[in-house]
Amino acid sequence: MLSSLGTKSVAVRTPDDLAGIDAIILPGGESTTISMLLESSEIFGSLNQMIGEGLPVLGTCAGMILLANEVSDGRRDQKSFEAIDISVRRNSFGRQIASFESDLKVKGLEESFRAVFIRAPGVEKVGDSVEILATVDSDEQTGVPVLCRSGPILVSSFHPELTADSRIHQIFLSLIK
């Protein structure tokens, strides 16, 4: 996806991999596992400092959870970068059988975006500093924010990396100075 947009990417597995990056993507996965591995790989501290100093971050699904100021239904020992003033609930739309896809109207995009939600987190509260770029209506909830931005931090409940559509990644790249 990134190389098709003319951007070079590296996989970050150790603190050394953080050297020289202009932005970072925290992808989907299990936030409990990722949080634990960020600590054991000794990445958390340095990355936390870089985010504090304004490193642009795209967090999708688990990545959104890791960036949120407040997390409910998580594990107590789960770490967060607390980089965006939102409260999220893990698995807010239910288990895998309730996972879904939907067309989203995204602020700034002409055509709708087909978004894939996998055991997705839901945003329950947003602070004044946060701009809501898209919301979703599910069977049980309406108008749930699913794409939010605060400064150089962009978070989504869904997985733009699971579709061929690169427009969310383009929005993110436009946030990098």
Using CB under 8 A, pick the residue from 9, 46, 49, 112 that binds another protein: 112
Catalytic residues: 61, 159, 161
| 72 counts as binding another protein under rule CB under 8 A | no
Residue 155 binds to another protein (criterion: CB under 8 A): no
Q: How far is the CB of 102 from another protein (least distance, A)?
A: 5
Q: Indicate whether 174 belongs to the interface with another protein (CB under 8 A).
A: no
Kindly indicate which of the ranges 17-25, 72-80, 121-129, 149-157 contains the residues binding another protein, using the contact rule CB under 8 A. Answer: 72-80
Cβ closest to another protein, residue 129 vs residue 176:
129
Sign of CA dihedral 137, 139, 144, 145: negative
Q: Is 10 exposed, middle or buried (0-12, 13-18, 19+ CB in 10 A)?
A: exposed
Phi and psi at residue 122, to the nearest 5°:
-120, 145
The rounded distance, in Å, linking the Cα atoms of 83 and 44 is 13
Contact 66, 59 (CB under 8 A): yes
116 touches another protein (CB under 8 A)? yes
Among 7, 102, 166, 170, binds another protein (CB under 8 A): 102
CB of 10 to another protein, least distance (A): 14
Task: Give the Cα separation of 47 and 60 in Å (integer).
Answer: 17
